[in-house]
Structure 1
Amino acid sequence: MKRHERLNTLLDILGEKGGLEVEEAAAALGVSAATTRRDMDALAEQQLLIRTRGGAVPGHVNYDLPIRYRQGARAVGRAAVARAAAGMVPPGSVVGLSGGTTTTEIARALARRPEFGETGPEPSLTVVTNALNIANELTIRPQIKTVVTGGVAHARSFELSGTFAETVLGRLHLDIAFIGVNGITPAEGATVHSEEEASVNALMARRAQRAFVVADASKIGTRCFARIGGSELFDGFLTDTSSPSEAVAEFDRSSLAVTVCGADDETDA
Structure 2
Amino acid sequence: MKRSDRFQSILAGLAEHGELRVDDLVDELDASPATVRRDLDTLASQGLLTRTHGGAQALSVAYDLPLRYKRLQRVDAKQLIAEAASALVGVGDVVGFSGGTTTTRIVEELSTRADIMVKSHTPNLTVVTNAVNIATELATRPQVKLVVTGGVLHPRSYELVGSFAEGVIASVALSIAFVGANALDVRSGAATHDEREAVVNRLMAQRAERAVLVLDSSKLGRTAFASMGGPEVFDTVITDADADPEQLDALRESGYTVIVAGADVRAA
TM-score normalised by the chain length of structure 2: 0.92
* Alignment-derived partner of residue 214 in structure 1: 214
Asked if residue 67 in structure 1 is aligned to residue 62 in structure 2, the reply is no
Query: 1:35 Cα shift?
Result: 3.4
Asked if residue 91 in structure 1 is aligned to residue 91 in structure 2, the reply is yes
- Do the aligned partners of 1:84 and 1:267 also contact (CA within 8 Å) in 2? no
Q: Distance in 1 between matches of 2:22 and 2:32?
A: 9
Query: 1:225 Cα shift?
Result: 1.4
Q: Distance in 1 between matches of 2:141 and 2:14?
A: 40
Q: Distance in 2 between matches of 1:18 and 1:194?
A: 17
- Distance of aligned partners of 1:7 and 1:61 in 2 relative to their CA distance in 1, 3 Å threshold: farther
Q: Distance in 1 between matches of 2:199 and 2:267?
A: 28
- Do the aligned partners of 1:96 and 1:178 also contact (CA within 8 Å) in 2? yes
* Alignment-derived partner of residue 110 in structure 1: 110
* Alignment-derived partner of residue 255 in structure 1: 255
Counterparts of 1:24-173 in structure 2, within 5 Å, are 24-52=24-52, 54-59=54-59, 62-173=62-173
CA RMSD of aligned residues (A): 2.2
Q: Distance in 1 between matches of 2:76 and 2:83?
A: 11
1:33-70 deviations in Å (ceiling 9; x for gaps): 34323322331232111334543233358421111011
Could you tell me which amino acid in structure 2 is paired with residue 215 of structure 1? L
Instruction: Calculate percent identity across the aligned residue pairs.
Output: 48
* Alignment-derived partner of residue 190 in structure 1: 190
* Alignment-derived partner of residue 235 in structure 1: 235
- Secondary structure of the equivalent of 2:111? helix
1:172-197 deviations in Å (ceiling 9; x for gaps): 11111011001101111111112221
Could you tell me which amino acid in structure 2 is paired with residue 183 of structure 1? A
- Do the aligned partners of 1:96 and 1:129 also contact (CA within 8 Å) in 2? yes
- Distance of aligned partners of 1:40 and 1:144 in 2 relative to their CA distance in 1, 3 Å threshold: same
1:50-104 deviations in Å (ceiling 9; x for gaps): 3345432333584211110111111111110011101111111110000111101
1:237-257 deviations in Å (ceiling 9; x for gaps): 000011111111111111112
Q: Distance in 2 between matches of 1:43 and 1:198?
A: 27
- Distance of aligned partners of 1:267 and 1:182 in 2 relative to their CA distance in 1, 3 Å threshold: farther
- Secondary structure of the equivalent of 1:133? helix
- Distance of aligned partners of 1:195 and 1:16 in 2 relative to their CA distance in 1, 3 Å threshold: closer
- Do the aligned partners of 1:4 and 1:72 also contact (CA within 8 Å) in 2? no
- Do the aligned partners of 2:62 and 2:225 also contact (CA within 8 Å) in 1? no
Once structures 1 and 2 are overlaid, which stretch shifts more, 213-222 or 38-47? Answer: 38-47
- Secondary structure of the equivalent of 1:253? helix
What is the aligned residue count?
A: 268
Query: 1:18 Cα shift?
Result: 4.3
Once structures 1 and 2 are overlaid, which stretch shifts more, 212-221 or 51-60? Answer: 51-60
Once structures 1 and 2 are overlaid, which stretch shifts more, 236-245 or 111-120? Answer: 111-120
Q: Distance in 2 between matches of 1:17 and 1:219?
A: 15
- Do the aligned partners of 1:83 and 1:265 also contact (CA within 8 Å) in 2? no
Query: 1:26 Cα shift?
Result: 1.2
1:148-203 deviations in Å (ceiling 9; x for gaps): 01111111111111111111111111111011001101111111112221111111
TM-score normalised by the chain length of structure 1: 0.92
Q: Give the structure, 1 or 2, with the largest relative contact order (CA under 8 Å, sep 6 or more).
A: 1
Structure 2: segments with no counterpart, 5+ residues: none
Once structures 1 and 2 are overlaid, which stretch shifts more, 25-34 or 254-263? Answer: 25-34
